[in-house]
Amino acid sequence: IAALRDVEPSAIREVFVEVPDVGWGDVGGLGEVRARLVEAVEWPLKYAGLFEKASIKPPKGILLTGPPGCGKTLVAKAIANESRVNFISVKGPSLLSKYVGESERGVREVFKKARQAAPCIAFFDEIDALIPTRSAGGSDSHVSERVLAQFLAEMDGVEELKGVLVLGATNRPDMIDPAILRPGRFDEVVEIPMPDEQGRREIFEVHLRGKPLAPGIDIGKLAARAEGLSGADIAGICRQAALAAVRRVVEAAGDNPPDEGALRITARDIRAALDAARALGGEAPGDDREA
């Protein structure tokens, strides 16, 4: 029994600090979102003297909202990379435990590691699962209330969050307890919308970059045809199109080694993948729908 007390929940063991290798060049569209986040996150670090002279305190927390697959996680990684700060990423549900006190302990551990790694961004994906509105009720309502109290204590507490920015992401902002949205906690809410036509074009360009493309691919037409699809959908489409091209070369080679020089992704490959994504209701095969 004594040994069991020393076993950390898996969620805590898996929290680690990283410096993401994703930059703004890997994020298609979202120009306005980028501008807001650069001002909120990069500027206080880059122009600390100006902010101090103007008596401007950088935000403690920023909430990213928007439909699934629109790039919330990608944006969080990009802003950490471009700001040259450490990054801790956890999924809200992974911190929840059936054992009394372990969920709160998980929250404390994330904030502790973020302080130790400062300057650092602590990113809570699916944060609505971690701090749902108290009116939601349910059998786990007492656990949720304790976790919310711990989260608020970490953001408001005596131990200042110096050099730590809390980023949350959700596609259900209506399910988050409003207490967390008060000034001094999540000071800003940034909506990441479905991409418009120009955004879809930029996303296609990101995911087709460096691939062996056949002549005649009109990215503008693809972007128009992909209306209503998310960035994750488009990423999955490009992957499936590339896989179709590989399959064609392998099958043509038969028992012989495939001719790598013959590998070309055609407009037909991309259109077929796009049609398949639409047939599945917008979710491309092989798409993990990163938030």
Give me the pLDDT at residue 250, please. Answer: 95
Half-sphere CA count of 183, side-chain side, radius 13 A: 1
* The pLDDT of residue 146: 86
Domain membership of residue 24 (yes or no) is: yes
Q: Output the pLDDT for position 282.
A: 53
- Give me the pLDDT at residue 138, please: 52
Domain of 257 in residue numbering reads as 197-279
**So what's the pLDDT on residue 226?**
94
Give DSSP secondary structure letters for 76-111.
HHHHHHHHT-EEEEEEGGGG--SSTTHHHHHHHHHH
Question: What is the spatial order of strands in the sheet that 120-125 belongs to?
Answer: 17-18, 86-91, 120-125, 164-170, 61-65, 186-191
Token pair belonging to 108: 């404390």
Could you write out the DSSP letters of every residue in 187-212?
A: EEEEE-PPP-HHHHHHHHHHHHTTS-
Residue 176's SS3 state is strand
d(CA 263, CA 252): 11
Residues 223 and 261 both lie in one domain: yes
Residue where one domain finishes, among candidates 175, 191, 207: 191
As a whole number of angstroms, the distance between CA 146 and CA 122 comes to: 20
Task: Output the domain CATH number for residue 216.
Answer: 1.10.8.60
Among 153, 172, 191, residue at a domain's last position: 191
For residue 145, the model assigns a pLDDT of: 84
Which pLDDT tens digits describe the chain residue by residue (291 residues)? 433 333 344 444 456 677 778 888 888 888 889 999 999 888 988 888 899 999 998 888 999 999 988 989 999 999 988 888 899 999 988 888 777 788 889 999 999 999 998 889 999 999 998 888 876 555 566 777 888 889 888 988 756 778 889 999 999 998 998 888 888 889 899 999 999 999 999 999 999 999 999 999 999 999 999 999 999 999 999 999 999 999 999 999 888 899 999 999 999 999 999 999 988 765 554 444 444
Asked if residue 204 and residue 184 are part of one domain, the reply reads: no
So what's the pLDDT on residue 113? 92
Cβ–Cβ under 8 Å, residues 240 and 284:
yes
What is the number of domains present in the chain? 2
Q: Identify the pLDDT of residue 202.
A: 94
Same domain, 147 and 228: no
Please check whether residues 156 and 40 belong to one and the same domain: yes
